[in-house]
Amino acid sequence: KNQVEQSPQSLIILEGKNCTLQCNYTVSPFSNLRWYKQDTGRGPVSLTIMTFSENTKSNGRYTATLDADTKQSSLHITASQLSDSASYICVVRSVGNGGSQGNLIFGKGTKLSVKP
Q: Which is nearer to another protein, 32 or 80 (CB)?
A: 32
Q: Does 29 bind another protein (CB under 8 A)?
A: no
Question: Per rule CB under 8 A, is residue 49 in the interface with another protein?
Answer: yes
Verify binding: residue 68, another protein, rule CB under 8 A. no
- CA distances for 43 relative to 36, 67, 96, 107, angstroms: 9, 27, 25, 15
Of positions 23, 89, 112, 114, contacts another protein by CB under 8 A: 89
- 31 touching another protein, by CB under 8 A: yes
Binding region for another protein (CB under 8 A) out of 18-26, 61-69, 73-81, 101-109: 101-109
- CB-side neighbour CA atoms (13 Å) of 11: 24
Question: According to the binding rule CB under 8 A, does residue 8 interact with another protein?
Answer: no
Task: Output b/e per residue, 70-108; b: 16+ Cβ within 10 A.
Answer: ebebbbebeebeeebbbbbbbbbbbbeeeeeebeebebe
